[in-house]
Amino acid sequence: FSPDGFDVAGSGPLYLQLQRRIADAVAEGRLAPGDSLPAERDMAAMTGLSRVTVRKAVQALVAQGVLVQKRGSGTFVAARVERLEQALSLLTSFTEDMARRGRSVESVWLSRALHAPAPEEVMALGLGAGDRVARLERVRRSDGVPLAIERASLSAQVLPDPMAVEASLYALLEERGLRPVRAVQRISAANLGAKDADLLGVAPGVAGLRIERVSYLPSGRVVEFTRSLYRGDAYDFAVELKLAP
Ligand code: 16G
């Protein structure tokens, strides 16, 4: 962070010049994931730029996910996530997907309880009057990195005891002879709101993928309605296409 090379006259706005400099340092490995950046006032002193200019550059990099700000402790280079390729044509669980890759699985439970269903749960699960719904809400992590927020709803007739789900929902369903064999999945783009972004350790507003899965038993009965938010920077979804008949 030296004052050299900032071109007050040309080369675009000063904050952009600083932004590019920091981004280059990260890309070239001179700043590594987890490294902390000097305080705003120190960066201003080092570069000879104003604090407003420094703040603008830092904010832009936070919005891009290059830097992260932790309340009370400063600004850091964001952990880089390795993108995971996920096949879209196989009905697998998060636990199975990670095990296949030799990765660990950790879930942070947000809630696990029975509720009165919301209208979309009644529709998706085909619930009757008076039926209750089991809601499982958790942040799915692997090798310490938060990857997705999952909100699963199942009829209380399928899962009367939501607290019984420990590491894997599908493993428990399998034990009970209720493993889904078919699912319909919809994927759409979403910018992550402040709360969800915080849960996923990314900056608010960054790109995410909303995935809705409705899965079925061999009998055709719906077993699960799950709404998830996946980090856009962590996943590539892949599917094989065949020539239309
Ligand atoms: C996957 C599924 C989710 C399912 C979960 C069970 C998507 C995109 N994927 O994450 O529907 O509930 O696996 O995982 O929704 P588990 O058996 O590890 O609990």
For a ligand 1 pocket test, name from 89, 90, 94, 159 the mutation site with the most ligand atoms within 8 angstroms of its C-beta: 94
Q: CA Rg, the chain, in Å?
A: 23
* pLDDT score of 5: 63
* pLDDT score of 143: 86
Name beta bridge partners: 207. 191
Alpha helix positions (H), the chain: 14-27, 40-47, 51-63, 94-100, 119-125, 169-175, 194-200
For a ligand 1 pocket test, name from 108, 125, 136, 150 the mutation site with the most ligand atoms within 8 angstroms of its C-beta: 150
Residues within 6 Å of ligand 1 by CB: 93-95, 150, 152, 168-171, 211, 213, 224, 226, 228
Between the alpha carbon of residue 209 and those of residues 67, 120, 159, 219, the distances in Å are: 21, 20, 27, 30
Question: How far, in Å, is the centroid of ligand 1 from the Cα of 200?
Answer: 17
Q: Whose CA is nearest to atom 16 of ligand 1?
A: 168
* pLDDT score of 3: 65
How many residues in total does the chain contain? 245
Question: How far, in Å, is the centroid of ligand 1 from the Cα of 111?
Answer: 16
Q: What is the C-alpha separation between 38 and 53, in angstroms, rounded?
A: 15
User: How is residue 74 written in tokens?
Assistant: 């400063």
Atom of ligand 1 nearest to the CA of 136: 12
* pLDDT score of 4: 67
User: How is residue 227 written in tokens?
Assistant: 């709404």
Question: How far, in Å, is the centroid of ligand 1 from the Cα of 242?
Answer: 26
CA 163, 235, 183, 143 torsion-angle sign: negative
Q: What parts of the chain have a pLDDT lower than 70? A: 2-10
**Is the pTM here over 0.95, yes or no?**
no
Atom of ligand 1 nearest to the CA of 152: 12
CA 223, 225, 229, 233 torsion-angle sign: positive
Q: Reduced to 3 states, what is the DSSP secondary structure of residue 146? A: strand
> In this predicted model, what pLDDT tens digit does every residue of 72-92 receive, in sequence order?
889 999 877 789 999 999 999
Question: How far, in Å, is the centroid of ligand 1 from the Cα of 94?
Answer: 5
* pLDDT score of 222: 97
Question: How far, in Å, is the centroid of ligand 1 from the Cα of 151?
Answer: 9
Q: 205: which residues sit within 8 A by CB, 6+ positions away?
A: 63, 191, 192, 197
Question: How far, in Å, is the centroid of ligand 1 from the Cα of 190?
Answer: 19
For a ligand 1 pocket test, name from 166, 169, 181, 235 the mutation site with the most ligand atoms within 8 angstroms of its C-beta: 169
**Burial status of residue 143 (CB atoms within 10 A of its CB: 0-12, 13-18, 19 or more):** middle
> In this predicted model, what pLDDT tens digit does every residue of 32-45 receive, in sequence order?
888 999 999 999 99
* pLDDT score of 62: 86
Q: Whose CA is nearest to atom 7 of ligand 1?
A: 213
